[in-house]
Homo-oligomer: A and B are copies of this chain.
Amino acid sequence: MPTLLLPPAADTRARILALAEELLLTRGFNAFSYQHIAKELGIKPAAVHYHYPSKDDLGLALVRRQLARLRKWRDLPRLTSLTPPQQLDALLDTYFGHVQAERRVCLFGALAADFRTLPEAMQAELRIFNRELTEWLAQVLAVGRATASLRFVGSPSAKAIQLLTTLAGALQVARVHDERHYHQIIEQLRLELLP
Contacts and interface: CB of A to CB of B under 8 A. Distances in A.
Contact of A172 (B117, B168, B170, B187): B168
Interface size class of A (residues with CB under 8 A): 35 or more
B127 A177 contact: yes
Contacts of A111: 113, 176
Copies in the complex: 2
A185 B161 contact: yes
A188 interface: yes
Contacts of A105: 112-113
Contacts of A115: 172, 175-176
Interface of A: 26-28, 30-31, 105, 108-117, 123, 126-127, 130, 153-154, 157-159, 161-162, 165-166, 168-170, 172-173, 175-177, 181, 184-185, 187-189, 191-192
